[in-house]
A and B are shown apart, each in its own frame.
Chain A
Amino acid sequence: MIPENVMNQPSWYESSARARIEGLLDAGSFKEILGPQDHVMSPHLALFDLPPAFDDGMIIGRGLIDGRPVAIAAQEGQFMGGTFAEVSGAKLVGLLRAVARNAGTPQEVSTVFLLLDTGGVRLQEANAGEMAVSETIHAILDVRHAGVPVVALIGGRAGAFGGGGLVTACCSHIIISEQGRISVSGPEVIETNKGVEEFDSRDRALVWRVTGGRSRVLLGGADSYVKGDIGSFRKAAEVINNNAPPLSLETLEREQGRLEHRLKAYGNCHDTPEIWVIAGLSTPAGIADLTEDDFIDLLVKEGVRHDAR
């Protein structure tokens, strides 16, 4: 007998960006914008003798969740690490600008879902990618300013690194799974720059303790924690509604207070179990080893909520 918790639905972590979109939206409702048949591809990869992708690793469009119209964008983490680049970035920026512009019109959507799966900026087109990240952040905030929540879903192979980490934290709400990782500098980058003593990137338990889904949601870097199957992400996406915090001075003041408190309370810690000790969690050293159900129970018990974002 295969345990139910193993033989589950298609896994978010393993699936392609397109499969995630299919699984997240109401069946058959996805309308892709600038899809593969439009051949809008990176003009820069040829210089590096790298093959392009028909969608430049960014799939965008509209669709329905529970009948509600939504906008959706998914990065394909397996293509060039899901990186922000000129075309992939412009597709995302265009989508966000369209959502902001159409808020309050018949074309409006209720929510934007960003299925981030990214190593950050594509270095082969670094300047364009850096600008794409900055423009994405500006556009996300415009969307939020227009009253439409932007929700990040994190649980792909590439995580949300570099500029992707910043983009994530600019969203109204962050849904993450155990495998999800959020960080600015990746462990390999820190190891390369600062040495293996600073961050041993091959110690994957450490990598996840520092950047992984459980630590992020416990510390306040993410808002909803889900099991790693696509169905669980969809369930969490269904319940997101307009009570996500608006972008306002009050919201950012609350975030200021939250982040100041975090720095003060945990600034001397070097690994997350030290934080959990201070935070008074019951199994500070064993968070990673809890079963999914036990961890979700812990979250319910702790009542962790970080709505100031």
Chain B
Amino acid sequence: MMPDNLISALFPHGHTLSAGAENTLSGQARSGGRDVEVLGITNSTPLGPETAIILAGHVLKIVKSDNKTPIIFLIDTASQRMTRRDEMLGLNEYLAHLAKSIILAGMAGHRTISVLYGTAAAGAFIATALSTQTMIAVDGAHPSVMDLASIARVTKLPLDVLTEKAKKTPVFAPGVEPLAATGAVSEIWKLSDGLCAERLSRLLADNQSMNNDNRDVLGAGRGGRTMAADVAQRVEKAFVQASDLKKAG
């Protein structure tokens, strides 16, 4: 099913989006007076090799056209598909290929933005929404790594204890707010306020140093990841010093 509400909120000035095979969508739209490419996953589809390879194919075709058109990803996936067959075929390669294609598009000068309007979890989340330069959460977005019940099973902690802990420490809690705190989500939009199209065109206009992954800095500022940015920076400094040490020794 096409996310018509979302599409009309983002692209009131027209689009040619249509549903494709394997619960994908694709087409072009207008935003802020320019053409954008739009790709998506619908129906909370668990991400398997078929869906991933179709989307990656679209992305690579857009990159090949060499016109630097922005790409907007509308994401409603689930976790990666969990079957023996998919793993046997190398699901990790398919998901990584999709991630690489999206990141390559960014490197090649395409502004990449994901709009999460449904669920996304674990490897599917990494391969899609988290591979774009900017991620937006709208109504219905529910990103997660794993649901609390599964975390409870793995950590062997009672669910209610875990739920209680999650309130105090959002570092493992599912949902938009905890993930926004880590820097994953840039902005949270409401479809009903009628401002989404405007916000999108503003984002598209701002393409300064978009290939600098600064989500850890964002996470530090928001208090959801207090150590990551600092540790990474310390390592970067020490890396240069370690090379000096080598020469000295």
Contact = CB atoms under 8 A, between A and B. Distances in A.
Contact of A184 (B56, B91, B104, B168): B91
B239 A99 contact: yes
Interface in B168-185: 168-173, 178-179, 181-184
A123 B96 CA distance: 21
Interface string B169-209: 11111000011011110000000000000000000000000
B130 A134 contact: yes
Given A127-B182, A137-B126, A252-B101, A259 B94 contact: yes
A52 B218 CA distance: 26
Interface string B226-240: 111111111110111
Interface residues of A, number: 97
A118 interface: no
Q: Which of A126, A185, A255 has the most CB of B within 10 A?
A: A126
Interface of B is mostly: helix
A132 B232 CA distance: 11
Nearest to B50: A263
B60 interface: yes
B118 interface: no
Interface string A139-180: 101100100000000000000101101111110000000000
Given A61-B242, A86-B225, A170-B99, A139 B213 contact: yes
A185 B157 CA distance: 21
A250 to B, nearest CB: 10
A165 B172 contact: no
A135 B215 contact: yes
B171 A125 contact: yes
A62 B228 CA distance: 20
B99 A262 contact: no
17 contacts: A71-B239, A91-B235, A93-B216, A94-B234, A94-B236, A123-B151, A127-B225, A128-B182, A137-B100, A138-B131, A168-B96, A185-B79, A185-B82, A185-B87, A194-B82, A249-B60, A252-B101
Given A69-B246, A255-B93, A255-B97, 18 more contacts: A34-B238, A40-B227, A40-B234, A47-B169, A90-B231, A93-B228, A126-B146, A129-B145, A131-B216, A134-B184, A141-B103, A165-B123, A169-B96, A184-B91, A194-B82, A194-B83, A209-B88, A252-B56
- Counting from the closest, the 9 A-B pairs by CB-CB distance are A94-B235, A165-B92, A169-B96, A94-B232, A98-B239, A126-B145, A90-B231, A134-B130, A90-B228
